[in-house]
Amino acid sequence: MSEASSKRANWTGSAAWCVIAAFGTYFCMYGFRKPFTAAKFEGSPLWGLDYKAVLVSAQVLGYMLSKFIGIKLVSELTPAKRVAWLIGLIAVAEVALIAFGLVPRPWNALALIANGLPLGMVFGLVLGVLEGRRNTEALTAGLCVSFIVADGATKSLGTWLIDSKVSEDWMPAVAGAISYLPFLGFCAMLKQIPPPSAADVAERSERQPMNRSDRWTFFRRYAIGLVLLTVSYLLVTILRSVRNDFAPELWAGLGTKPDAEAFTYTEALVGFGILSAIAVAVLIRDHRAAFTYAFALSIAGANVLIAAPVLQASGWISPFWYLTIVGLGLYLPYIAVHTTIFERLIAMTRDRGNIGYLMYLADAFGYLGYVGVLMAKNLVTLKPEPAEFTALFSASCQWFGFALVGLMVPCWYVFIRHPSTQRTRDT
């Protein structure tokens, strides 16, 4: 290998290259998913239902179905096919957004189901490139910060397009078109990332595609812990999704009308806090210690959820800081699962597996729960006042926080005392 080729290989295998490629790919994906939530979609063209809730429900339904499909597809897909699938999935998502602009209300809601279906598999394909490395937590934290920051940034993009007189129905397609070329560029970077090195495999275990038998074997072996963790993840997913998809309504309920940049500022602060907390896990080589640290972060996040509504109701923090602190409390357990808990579980046990399977198992039921919440919102309360909606959200933060503590503590104990993790200690 020439010196130039060697330098190029070293750079494309560097942490900076990997983080930029993964962050950029997933950040751009959000340009096809979230901008529409910045619009109000006022009116009730479908049986008197809140139309924005219908649209959010439609996209989440497609996204949830994608997660169930991804349990098989993402866990079985070979590395060589990932980038081609990413490009094809995003193209389908943009076609669906164009259909959303073309088809009259309320039938254009069906286009958001089609939009959610391909988007739900993007995360697993990008994550598969990063797992099984000695610095996986750092790389995956960079990936996860992308969807924290992108959620706010793409809402800001959507708000800016509406302020620029782009119609609500065409705004999502325009936002997707703006995101498409950068997405292709980051995919090209992703394709250059080499597989884990021999040293990575020695420390973290080889990550292999899983067939149906592999998936069932893994699930049966760790069923109790996986069920407890999946229920915890479901609760976090519900609250995180409500905070993200109905951010304008939550701001209104707090008596504040945010400008376009406010969404970006809150999520940037959350992203910085999460990145700082997760970065510590990279420094912990002992897998059991890192696994325990990730659960400690999750429980800390649950306590933040319990405390934040009290601080806000007492007038000690402003609406801006309330939504920022709640975001931190939600993302601590959410990102700990993504970056460390599943990664170190496989590294501890050295069972045949990959994070794609475990993440999509948790995600599928998490989004199934959120779909149920959205359906209940439509059927039980057609259009709650913003103050009522925000009060319900704050109460849910506290109740879910207590539930998370009650689930995560025994979940950690079950995993850490499992025979597979007991006998597979780091040297």
Asked if residues 154 and 29 have their Cβ atoms less than 8 Å apart, the reply is no
Of 311 and 11, the structure prediction assigns the larger pLDDT to 311
Which tens digits make up the pLDDT trace of 311-360? Answer: 988 889 888 898 899 999 999 998 898 889 999 999 888 888 888 899 99
- Burial (CB < 10 A; 0-12, 13-18, 19+), residue 320, is middle
Looking at residue 17, which CATH number applies to its domain?
Answer: 1.20.1250.20
pLDDT of 422: 67
For 57, 143, 221, 364, the CA distances from 230, given in Å and listed in that order, are 21, 21, 15, 9
pLDDT at 381 over 70: no
Q: Residue 158: enclosing H or E segment and its boundaries? A: helix 136-163
CA distance 15 to 341: 20
pLDDT of 124: 92
Which tens digits make up the pLDDT trace of 177-201? Answer: 999 999 999 999 999 999 998 988 8
pLDDT at 12 over 60: no
pLDDT band at 82 (very low <50, low <70, confident <90, very high): very high
Asked if residues 344 and 290 have their Cβ atoms less than 8 Å apart, the reply is yes
φ/ψ (deg, to 5) at 327: -60, -40
Answer whether residue 201 is part of any domain. yes
The long-range contacts involving 93-102, CB below 8 angstroms and separated by at least 24 positions, are: 93/32, 93/33, 93/118, 93/119, 93/176, 94/32, 94/173, 94/176, 94/177, 94/180, 97/32, 97/172, 97/173, 97/176, 98/173, 100/36, 100/169, 100/172, 100/173, 101/167, 101/169, 101/170, 101/172, 101/173
Mean pLDDT of 273-300: 89
pLDDT at 427 over 50: no
Write down the pTM of the prediction: 0.81
Give the total number of structural domains in the chain: 1
- Domain, as residue range, for 167: 11-423
Answer whether residue 3 is part of any domain. no
CA distance 250 to 418: 42
pLDDT of 56: 85
Please state whether 165 falls in left (phi above 0), alpha (psi between -120 and 50) or beta. Answer: left
pLDDT of 290: 92
| Position 83, amino acid | V
DSSP secondary structure, 45-73, as one string: TTTT--HHHHHHHHHHHHHHHHHHHHHHH
Answer whether residue 77 is part of any domain. yes
pLDDT at 19 over 60: yes
pLDDT of 425: 55
pLDDT at 77 over 60: yes
Answer whether residue 376 is part of any domain. yes
Of 224 and 44, the structure prediction assigns the larger pLDDT to 224
Residue 226 in tokens: 């996986």
Answer whether residue 310 is part of any domain. yes
pLDDT at 73 over 60: yes
Answer whether residue 206 is part of any domain. yes
| Position 228, amino acid | L
pLDDT of 8: 46
DSSP secondary structure, 251-319, as one string: HHHTT----HHHHHHHHHHHHHHHHHHHHHHHT---HHHHHHHHHHHHHHHHHHHHHHHHHHHTTSS-H
pLDDT of 380: 56
Question: Mean pLDDT score of the chain, rounded to an integer?
Answer: 86
Answer whether residue 2 is part of any domain. no
Answer whether residue 341 is part of any domain. yes
